[in-house]
Amino acid sequence: MAAYRALARRSWQPGTADARIRLGGSIVPIRFRQQDIYVIGEMLHDHPYRLRTTLPEHPVIFDAGANIGLSALWFAARYPGAHLFCFEPEAACFALLQENLRQLRTARLERVALGETTGAVDLRVTSHASDHSIFDTGSPAAPQRVALRRLDEYLQEHAIERVDLLKLDVEGSELRVLEGLGKLTDRVHTIIGECHERLVNPDTLYRFLEDHGYQLVAKRPVHAFKEDHMFEAARA
């Protein structure tokens, strides 16, 4: 309750707390900050990554915008034996991602942002901790220089021939991440993510997906008070 009160005030206490939460049929330990309470509530109550598309028994899952690891833990609980690749550029979030995913031996963690080029980019880091972006989101933010990579280069470097699920929560970089697949879009079967409508044009995003062989499976609002929406697309 203290964390939810802090959410209303946007005034966070320093330090971290430990808890145990139920994700699917598993109870898992997590370490979090007060400002992470929104993400925890979203995962526990909204189930944003519940799929309509069926994945194979041991799917390869790319988690772009892994934050502190709650989505990865949810995928691991839902798909035991999944091979997880988690991408998170922001330093403090990545430290908690490492802590929270120590329990997942098959997870590979990369402190990097994904985009249409390889190099470096200034990430705008906010106090909220869940809406860091390379774009100006309107929230007070401080720049943090982070590594940037294209997904096609990563797939080739690690000899990954198929990604069963690409999860996108990248605060406006959705289209840029997909453009970074280059000619390898056919290696990604299903995509689920949040479309940040203030930062990316939904029509352009869905036209890109259609042009590259995907069909829209589902689309729903994140919350009644947010313009953003969740989407799921799969290869036809």
Better pLDDT: 23 or 50? 50
Q: How confident is the model at residue 6 (pLDDT cuts 50, 70, 90)?
A: low
Write down the CATH number for the domain with range 2-49+58-235.
3.40.50.150
> What token pair was written down for 162?
């198929």
Kindly report the length of the chain. Answer: 236
pTM of this prediction? Answer: 0.93
Please state the rounded mean pLDDT for residues 99-109. Answer: 94
Query: Which residues on neighbouring strands pair with residue 13, listed in sequence order?
Result: none
Going from N- to C-terminal start, the domains of the chain cover 2-49+58-235
Full 3-state SS string of 83-128: EEEEECCCHHHHHHHHHHCCCCCCCEEECCEECCCCEEEEEEEECC
Better pLDDT: 55 or 223? 55
